[in-house]
């Protein structure tokens, strides 16, 4: 039997409609949520992501501004910009689009963002908060995956979740969030020896490796939930995920397509985190404490 297809676009629309109401309520109270995006250099993919983020902000009633720096910009210029945004009461979320040019120190830049405005959840404090189950902001892509599971009433507690990929943006926070919800979690990489042994034992399989069609039908347990975070452009210009969709959908119980699966959820969760940051600011909450 063919898998149930998890429609990320549809879930993203539902979630955005829910949060748009919250943004409107805040705006009526005098706090219009605001997001600042910093982009350094001319990475084409980053440029597209940033434009999509700005467009999505407009659609749900979030004010947004983009601060663009050239590839040769000095780190201090960016740090000064972040400092000003930290102090700007109209800005509730700050996002530095990654990757940064090689002469930048990622952690130096990210840890200069105020903790309560770090809507990506990449600040080392927020990473530690996630590890210890005191989440301030859930990183957007794994957060989107969790919402997709929830909206499809997929149980997590007691299930064996296998995450393939160990990036700071997806794999590691994904594993932690599944663990927090009571899953038994195995983390693999695309280089894990005997990868099929692990993936075949997964009730929930999340793949984020950037390797086109790494996961084939023989690697999947019948009825498993398969979440494909990959988005790869093939030489013919077509997009594909890290999962061989056509074969795996005949085996899995649930599957996400590419495009139209996890992708639309990532930006949606960024909007949610920005509105959440604005709600906290409105309520006078800073670093989890009322002021
Ligand atoms: N580059 C690729 N994905 C992301 C993301 O989720 N956040 C940021 N800031 N940069 C990225």
Lookup: tokens for 120: 């990506």
Q: Which atom of ligand 1 is closest in space to residue 96's alpha carbon? A: 9
Distance CA 31, CA 87 (A): 15
| Residue with CA nearest ligand 1 atom 1 | 98
Q: How many domains does the chain have?
A: 2
Which of 118, 120, 228, 244 does the annotation list as catalytic? 120
The answer to the question of residue 73 being in a domain is yes
User: Do 59 and 161 sit in the same domain of this protein?
Assistant: no
Active site residue 172: no
Q: Which atom of ligand 1 is closest in space to residue 266's alpha carbon? A: 6
- When pLDDT is averaged across residues 180-189 and rounded to a whole number, the result is 98
Quick one: pLDDT at residue 146? 98
Instruction: Band the pLDDT of 1: cuts 50, 70, 90.
Output: confident
pLDDT per residue over 262-271, tens digit each?
999 999 999 9
Quick one: pLDDT at residue 290? 63
* Residues in CB range of 187: below 8 A, 6 or more apart: 162, 163, 166, 171, 172, 175
pLDDT per residue over 116-174, tens digit each?
999 999 999 999 999 999 999 999 999 999 999 999 999 999 999 999 999 999 999 99
User: Do 84 and 197 sit in the same domain of this protein?
Assistant: no
Q: CB-side exposure of 185: number of CA atoms within 13 Å?
A: 21
Whether cis (ω within 30° of 0) applies to the bond prior to 259 is: yes
- When pLDDT is averaged across residues 90-109 and rounded to a whole number, the result is 98
Going by C-alpha positions, the residue among 173, 217, 213 that lies closest to residue 190 is 213
Last residue of a domain, which of 97, 114, 131? 114
Quick one: pLDDT at residue 288? 59
Q: What is the pTM of this model?
A: 0.96
Active site residue 120: yes
User: Do 84 and 175 sit in the same domain of this protein?
Assistant: no
In the chain, at which residue ranges do the beta strands (DSSP E only) sit? 4-5, 34-40, 63-69, 93-96, 160-164, 184-188, 204-207, 225-228, 232-233, 239-240, 254-255, 285-286, 289-290
The answer to the question of residue 20 being in a domain is no
User: Do 106 and 220 sit in the same domain of this protein?
Assistant: no
Counting ligand 1 atoms within 8 A of each CB, the residue from 36, 39, 46, 49 with the most, and so the one to mutate, is: 49
User: Do 93 and 180 sit in the same domain of this protein?
Assistant: no
Active site residue 83: no
pLDDT per residue over 20-45, tens digit each?
999 999 999 999 999 999 999 999 99
Convert 194-236 into a string of H (helix), E (strand) and C (coil): CHHHHHCCCCEEEECCCCCCCECHHHCCCCCEEEECCCEECCC
The answer to the question of residue 80 being in a domain is yes
Q: Is the pLDDT confidence value at 284 over 80?
A: yes
User: Do 83 and 180 sit in the same domain of this protein?
Assistant: no
- When pLDDT is averaged across residues 177-206 and rounded to a whole number, the result is 98
Across the chain, how many H-helices and E-strands are there? 10, 13
Quick one: pLDDT at residue 286? 72
Is 34 within 8 Å of 63 (Cβ atoms)?
yes
User: Do 100 and 182 sit in the same domain of this protein?
Assistant: no
Quick one: pLDDT at residue 289? 63
Quick one: pLDDT at residue 251? 98
Give the residue numbers spanning the domain of 72.
Answer: 30-114
pLDDT per residue over 241-261, tens digit each?
999 999 999 999 999 999 999
User: Do 87 and 145 sit in the same domain of this protein?
Assistant: no
User: Do 152 and 109 sit in the same domain of this protein?
Assistant: no
Q: Is the pLDDT confidence value at 78 over 80?
A: yes
């Amino acid at each position: 039997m063919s898998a149930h297809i998890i429609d990320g676009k549809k879930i993203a629309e539902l979630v955005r409609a829910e949060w748009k109401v919250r943004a409107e309520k805040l705006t009526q109270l005098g706090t219009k949520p605001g997001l600042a995006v910093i982009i350094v250099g001319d990475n084409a993919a980053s440029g597209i992501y940033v434009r999509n983020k700005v467009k999505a902000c407009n659609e749900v009633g979030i004010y947004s501004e983009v601060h663009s720096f050239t590839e040769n910009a000095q780190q201090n210029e960016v740090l000064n910009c972040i400092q000003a945004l930290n102090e700007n009461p109209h800005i509730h979320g700050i996002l530095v689009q990654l990757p940064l040019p090689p002469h930048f120190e990622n952690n130096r830049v990210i840890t200069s963002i105020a903790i309560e405005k770090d809507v990506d959840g990449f600040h080392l404090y927020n990473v530690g908060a996630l590890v210890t189950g005191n989440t301030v902001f859930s990183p957007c892509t794994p957060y989107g995956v969790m919402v997709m599971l929830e909206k499809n009433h997929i149980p997590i507690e007691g299930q064996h979740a296998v995450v393939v990929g160990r990036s700071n943006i997806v794999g590691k926070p994904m594993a932690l969030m599944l663990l927090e919800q009571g899953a038994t979690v195995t983390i693999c990489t695309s280089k894990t020896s005997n990868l099929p042994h692990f993936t075949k034992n997964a009730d929930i399989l999340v793949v984020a490796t950037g390797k086109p069609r790494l996961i084939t039908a023989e690697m999947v347990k019948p009825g498993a939930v398969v979440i494909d975070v990959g988005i790869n452009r093939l030489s013919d210009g077509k997009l594909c995920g890290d999962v061989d969709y056509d074969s795996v959908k005949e085996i899995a119980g649930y599957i996400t397509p590419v495009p139209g699966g996890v992708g639309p959820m990532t930006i949606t969760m960024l909007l949610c985190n920005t509105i959440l940051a604005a709600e906290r600011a409105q309520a006078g909450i800073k670093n989890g404490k009322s002021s």
